[in-house]
Structure 1
């Protein structure tokens, strides 16, 4: 992985003993400060990374029509929600314990700690490239969105995926078909009435003659 040392994968791995000590410190109201990720936030972040990948895979499967992946996708979404809430709670708790605004440090990258734990650069160019790639991918999804079929095409990959629930899309499709049939029916009735009016007018003209 690229980036400062505190965001590299090896810094997310803590021994079980370190994790136990960290949570014991939370209960005692003590424990060391971490310049990088603490054991709790590290494993929460890893869990979110894995869940995002699994959610993306199962989401694509559902979009391609695999209804069997729906239950797994929903289950993973609930786990993701739980992990995110636990992570936010941990950030708030850590900030209160150590009187340090962790949320702000995620933005400006500055924290108090041992000078040896500091980094020489925040790698702004790498961050900019990542931001551009992510933004370009998102814009591609938006540009490829087709409201008629409620689907989009994945940039670069070209795979078309349907959005939303399968049942909901089928209902929308049936509703559109019903509206079109009703429109055709009324159009035919209008044409029929127009023909009858025309015939009546012709008969009136013949009677006049």
Structure 2
């Protein structure tokens, strides 16, 4: 059996699967016009996306943006098959992660400021902007959802392609936290530690709580 190394920490893995569930629940609550729950799920998104952005700066080694975001030359070398196989996100997948996080940030932020045509169903921060600006935010909220659907479809297609053509299972490491060691000198993930995790949770959770408190949720 080939040796394995740690690749994803527990916060990244839990966050990933919570995002999957939360995306479905957010869509379902909006379709059913259960807006109280939709707002609650939106606040959960504030905490979750906020945590991931913070964790991308102070988190474990494989979760930090600086460890996997590379320049165009590295990406082109990887596409030509000349790049070094490392644990974590590959150079192409890194841009997929960034695109997903940007789309999620736009989706969450626009939802906070949006309102419907009657002004009856409004996001918790819509009072800070004009009605026209809130309606623009609602339109952005709808468009960013469609963009997210496209990015999710590409993400799933890439997972399938890696499995079929590359023989790599990208789902299993996101469950177990471990992956096959690409080479002997490739070390595993370096964890961030409890103090940094606690700080990220408090900051992201505090932001969501403060927004929800003013909205009565």
Distance in 2 (alpha carbons) for counterparts of 1:133 and 1:92 = 36
Distance in 1 (alpha carbons) for counterparts of 2:196 and 2:171 = 18
Gaps of 5+ in 2: 1-56, 115-122
2:177 match: 109
Distance 1:116 1:159, change over 3 A: farther
Return the offset for 1:161: 8.3
Distance in 2 (alpha carbons) for counterparts of 1:21 and 1:9 = 19
Instruction: Normalising by structure 1, report the TM-score.
Output: 0.55
Helix, strand or coil for the counterpart of 1:159?
A: helix
Correspondence 1:17-96 to 2 at 5 A = 17-25=73-81, 33-62=85-114, 63=123, 64=126, 66-96=134-164
Q: Deviations for 1:100-126, whole angstroms, at most 9, x for unmatched residues?
A: 321111122211212433226545747
Correspondence 1:1-209 to 2 at 5 A = 1-25=57-81, 33-62=85-114, 63=123, 64=126, 66-112=134-180, 113-119=182-188, 121-122=190-191, 125=194, 129=198, 155-157=209-211, 158-160=213-215
Return the offset for 1:46: 0.6
Distance 1:100 1:131, change over 3 A: farther
Return the offset for 1:8: 0.9
Gaps of 5+ in 1: 141-153, 163-209
Q: RMSD of the alignment, in Å? A: 3.4
- Which one scores higher on RCO, CA 8 angstroms, separation ≥ 6? 2
- Rg larger in structure: 1
Distance in 1 (alpha carbons) for counterparts of 2:161 and 2:196 = 28
Helix, strand or coil for the counterpart of 2:209?
A: coil
Distance 1:50 1:13, change over 3 A: same
Distance in 1 (alpha carbons) for counterparts of 2:87 and 2:146 = 30
Aligned residues: 142
Q: Contact 2:62–2:88 (CA<8 Å) still a contact in 1?
A: yes
Q: Contact 2:62–2:190 (CA<8 Å) still a contact in 1?
A: no
Distance in 1 (alpha carbons) for counterparts of 2:170 and 2:88 = 10
Instruction: Normalising by structure 2, report the TM-score.
Output: 0.53
